[in-house]
Structures are given as C-alpha cells and as structure tokens.
Structure 1
Amino acid sequence: MKNLKYIILLFAVVFSSKEIVAQKDSIALQRKARKMVRQGNQLYEQKQFTDASVAYQKALSNNSAYDKASYNLGNALYQNQNFKEAIPSYELTAKTATDKFTKAEAYHNLGNAMMETKNYQGAVDAYKSSLRNNPTDDETRYNLAVAQKMLDKQNKQNKDNKDNKDKKDDKNKKDKKDKDDKNKDKDKKKDGDDKDKKDDKKDEKDKDGKGDKDQKKNQDPKKDDKKDKKQKSKPRQGQMSPQQIKQLLESLNNEEKKTQKKMNAKKAKGRKVKQEKDW
C-alpha cells in the first residue's frame, strides 16, 4: 500500500514537473514573440515596412496565435502595397482575437485590402463583420457604403459586358450562318455551271465526232470510187444515160433542121422580086 502511494506521488511530481517546464517554455516563447513585435513596431514607425514584416513573422513563429503580431504584419504588408499578402494576416487576426474591438479592427482593415484588390463583394462582407463587432464605427459604415456602390457598379458592368458578349456571339453566329448559306448557294451555282459546261463539251464532242466522221467518209477515195461505179452501172431514177442524151440531141437536131427548111421556104415565098425598070 505504501509502495502504491509512493508510485502515485512520483507520477504526480513528474507530471507536474513536465507541466511546469511546458509552461515555462510557453512563457519564454511568448516573451520572444513580444520582443519581436516591439522590434517590428519600431521598424514600422521608421517606415521600414519590409524589415518590420520580417520581425512580425518571427513573432508568429514563436506564437502562431499572437493576434497582435498577425494584425501588425497585415498592416506592414498593406503599407508596402502587398494587399493580397495582407489579407491572410487580417483573416488570422479576426479568427484568433478574443475581444470584439480587435476583431472589428481586423475586419475593417481586411475590407480595405479587399477594396484595393477590387474584390468589392469581399470588402462588403468584411465591413459588415466589422460593424457587427463595433456598430458605432462611422468610418467602417462609410467604407461599407462606398464598397456597396462599387459592387453595384461592377455588377452592372459585368452584366453589360455579358450582354455585349452575347450580342457579339449571336452576331458572329448569324454572320457564320449567312456565310455558310452563301457558300452553299455559290457551290450549287458552281455545280450547275460545271454541269452545263460538261454538257456543252459533250455536245461539241459528239458534233465534232460526227463531223469528223462525215469528213472522213467524204475523204475516203475508195468509197467515192464505189459510188461512181454504182452510178455508172445503174443510173438514178429520173436521170438519162449519156447514150440516151446523145440520141435525144440527134433527134432534136434533125427536128430543128426540118423546121428551119420550112421557115426558109415560107420566107422565100413572101419575099418580093425586084424588077428592073425600063425607062
């Protein structure tokens, strides 16, 4: 029984010693953090914002929940116009701060950083959170009104840009459709013209082929000889052979001679005889 009590007492002493050591380490880290914050504040007053930022970051490395260090770091970054980098520091302060005044200040500065990055919706939300923690802050209320006005303007501009983009897209679609339709009509016309040209070429080819065939036929001496022989051997209907023509001419010549004799006889009978006068 005595041994058990002794063991329990020993564990209590060891545990208490570890707790005491941890507390001492924590206090030491807090002191280092405070020291670095004071050093950062001095640099900040001298407008050495980059060096001040380094000091505040060292303070946070010793105590990550040190809201004064994160808040001051945000201010130093803001003064160096590193607005995007300042935003996480203000958000950390607003999360870790235990009193409403510190939270209100953190949200107020967060809204300012959001304004600088043109995140007007984020600024409006930050200023509203600041006023929830400190409703009497007129400066925050004024900033909220400005942020709301800028947000409305941005939304209107975005809407106009979207409408213009939609109109432009519609116009581009219409122009593309008109162009496609025009190209289709052009292709149809071209196909028709090509077809007509093809038909014309075919007709010319057929015509030329026929002409060439006729010309070739006319120029063929063998065929001409055969034709002449055929005509000599068998006269065409309605035509006379050379022999028949000769006989007809001889007959006509004989008839003409007979007629001429008759005419001469009639003339002789009707002609007056010239008598010689006897004076």
Structure 2
Amino acid sequence: MKESERRIRMENNLKYRSLATVLFVAITSCFSLLTAQENPKKIEREVNEYLREAEDAMGENDFASAEASYRKAIAKDPSSTAAKYNLGNLYYNKEKTPEAANRLRQAHEISGSKEEKHRINHNLGNSFMKQKEYKEAVEAYKNALRNDPSDEETRYNLALAKKMLEEEQQNQDQNQDQNEDQEENKDQQENQDDQKKDGEGGDKENQDNQPKDEGENENKENQDKGDQDKEEQDQKEQQDKGENGDEQEQQPQQQQPAQGQLSPQQIKSLLNAMDNEEKKVQDKINAEKAKGVKVQSEKDW
C-alpha cells in the first residue's frame, strides 16, 4: 500500500473515532437530561414521605423521631420550605427558641408566596420575643404585616414588642445614668481622699516646724494639769472613803441587840447612871461630914 493511501485511512479512522465520541457524549447528555427530569419527582415523593413520618411522630409526641424525619427531608431537598418551617415550629414548641429562629430564617429565605412569608415571619417574631430580642421581633412582625396587613394577632404582637423594646431602652438609659453617677461619686471621693492626704501632710509639716520650747511648755502644762486632776481625784476618793467610814461606824449603832441582851449603848447608859448615883451619895456624905453629923452610908433595906 502506498504511503499516501495509508495516511488517508488513518485520518478517516480518526474522524470516525471523533464522531463516535461526539455521539457518546450526546447520548449521555440526553440520558442525564431524562434522569434529571425524573429526579425532582422522586425527590418530591421522598420529601413528602419524610414529612408524613414527622407528622406521625409528632402525633405520638416522639420529638426525636420527628426531628430526624424533618432533617432527612431537608437533606434530600434543601429548598423545601415546608420542612424547614415545620422543623422551626417543632423547636419553638420544645422551647428551643434559638434553633427555631435559625430554621425559620432559612424558611423565610426560600419562601415564595405571601402567605408563607406571613406565617414564617409571625412565628419568627414569636421566637425573638421568647429570647427577649425585641428589636428583631419588631422587624419580624412588620415583615409579617407587609404580607398580610389584616392579621390582628400579628398587629397586637407588634404593639407588645414595641412596648417591651421601649422599656428595655429606658432601663438601659437608667443603668447608664446610674453608672455615670457612680463614676462621678467615685471621682469625688478620690479627690476628697487626696485633699485629706494633702491636709494631713501639711499638719505634719507644721508640727515639725513648731518650736521645740513651745512644745515642751505645752507638754509641761498638760502634765501639771494631769497632776492637778489626779490630786483632786485622790481628795474626792478620800472624802468618799470618809463618808463611807462614818456610815460604817453608824451602822453597828443602828443594829438591834439580840433578844435578852443589852446593847452596848444601854450598857454605857447604865454605867453612867451608876456613876452619877455614886457621885450623889459621895456628895451627900461629904456634906454630912461638914456638918459633923454621922451619916449612915449604907442603904436601908
């Protein structure tokens, strides 16, 4: 075979191969297109099946199974508004408000109809209210009313959220004012302390500069005054002691004698009476002697 003919055959073979490749790609693309057209229906059926399983689990109060089914539906079709919305409501009812708000936000991003947007934003506002995020709640309720202005419940919730937001701002302002007052009082106290320290330093300096003789005189006067006070105190104590002694001396005299015994005072009075009687007798004897008449000294019995 000539060289020219062999080259032509090789080129033809290459053309055939290229054509076969093109046909293969075309057939594959058509098959993929047909498969893609069938997959959405299959995905939708599977998603609906997961949603039914979740509803059945909710009817039995099986929170874990319902959550798992909703998650499977979202994994199968991330664009499923119903799956994300229902999972958000599930979290809300179980007091998992942060998770609820997150899922409701996701549902709002992919929602299409006004009715969906209204319901999602209304529940999103409720989730924010539970978290005391009043500013976000106000915005959510406003978005809900934009899609359905006739919902009175949403309007009431909006008014309540505005009131709570206003009170929160007032409390924040009051706290800020209190903090400022505390800081101001703290600064004033620090200034007073500094002034006090400066004053104490000045007094100490004045004491150091005070003449020594004047200090000694003052100490001497204080010592003399202390001695005088001590002397007066001693005199007072002695006086009190004397008065107490007199009272103690008088107390025995005031004591009553025991029954059948003479008191010392009675004995003393009796002795004085005997002395007086004896003196009278002696005086009478002396008078008789002076007259020269014998007088009987003994008593007649």
SS of the equivalent of 2:73 reads helix
- Residue 133 of structure 2 corresponds to 119
**C-alpha displacement of 1:8:** 4.7
Counterpart-to-counterpart distance in 1, 2:31 and 2:38: 10
Deviating more after overlay: 113-122 vs 167-176: 167-176
- Residue 275 of structure 2 corresponds to none
SS of the equivalent of 1:136 reads coil
For residues 189-245 of structure 1, what are the alpha-carbon distances to aligned partners after superposition, in whole Å with 9 as ceiling and x for unaligned? 23443x348x749x99xxxxxxxxxxxxxxxxxxxxxxxxxxxxxxxxxxxxxxxxx
**1:59 maps onto 2:73 in alignment:** yes
- Residue 106 of structure 1 corresponds to 120
Counterpart-to-counterpart distance in 1, 2:54 and 2:41: 20
Question: When the two structures are aligned, how many residues end up with a matched partner?
Answer: 201
Contact 1:39 1:55 in 2 (8 A): yes
Q: TM-score, normalised by structure 1?
A: 0.65
- Residue 13 of structure 1 corresponds to 27
- Residue 273 of structure 1 corresponds to none
The letter of the residue matching 1:73 is L
**1:33 maps onto 2:47 in alignment:** yes
- After superposition, the Cα gap between the structure-2 partners of 1:14 and 1:174, relative to the gap in structure 1 and judged at 3 Å, is same
The letter of the residue matching 1:82 is K
1:11-160 maps to which residues of 2 (within 5 A)? Answer: 11-160=25-174
SS of the equivalent of 1:146 reads helix
Counterpart-to-counterpart distance in 1, 2:182 and 2:190: 12
Counterpart-to-counterpart distance in 2, 1:146 and 1:49: 31
- After superposition, the Cα gap between the structure-2 partners of 1:171 and 1:27, relative to the gap in structure 1 and judged at 3 Å, is same
- After superposition, the Cα gap between the structure-2 partners of 1:166 and 1:13, relative to the gap in structure 1 and judged at 3 Å, is same
Contact 1:49 1:79 in 2 (8 A): no
The letter of the residue matching 1:110 is L
**C-alpha displacement of 1:16:** 1.7
Counterpart-to-counterpart distance in 2, 1:133 and 1:155: 28
Contact 1:77 1:86 in 2 (8 A): yes
SS of the equivalent of 1:98 reads coil
- Residue 198 of structure 2 corresponds to 184
**C-alpha displacement of 1:130:** 0.7
1:231-270 maps to which residues of 2 (within 5 A)? Answer: none
- After superposition, the Cα gap between the structure-2 partners of 1:177 and 1:20, relative to the gap in structure 1 and judged at 3 Å, is farther
- After superposition, the Cα gap between the structure-2 partners of 1:54 and 1:186, relative to the gap in structure 1 and judged at 3 Å, is farther
- Residue 225 of structure 1 corresponds to none
Counterpart-to-counterpart distance in 2, 1:24 and 1:114: 40
For residues 161-215 of structure 1, what are the alpha-carbon distances to aligned partners after superposition, in whole Å with 9 as ceiling and x for unaligned? 111111121111111221222122223323443x348x749x99xxxxxxxxxxx
For residues 77-115 of structure 1, what are the alpha-carbon distances to aligned partners after superposition, in whole Å with 9 as ceiling and x for unaligned? 001100111101010111111111111111000000000
Q: TM-score, normalised by structure 2?
A: 0.60
- Which sections of structure 2, spanning at least 5 residues, go unmatched? 1-11, 217-301
SS of the equivalent of 1:81 reads coil
Counterpart-to-counterpart distance in 1, 2:95 and 2:108: 20
- Which sections of structure 1, spanning at least 5 residues, go unmatched? 205-279
Counterpart-to-counterpart distance in 2, 1:51 and 1:190: 82
Q: Share of identical aligned residues, percent? A: 29
- After superposition, the Cα gap between the structure-2 partners of 1:184 and 1:30, relative to the gap in structure 1 and judged at 3 Å, is farther
**C-alpha displacement of 1:131:** 0.8
Choose between structure 1 and 2 for higher RCO, CA contacts under 8 A separated by at least 6 residues.
Answer: 1
- After superposition, the Cα gap between the structure-2 partners of 1:19 and 1:191, relative to the gap in structure 1 and judged at 3 Å, is farther
Contact 1:43 1:52 in 2 (8 A): yes
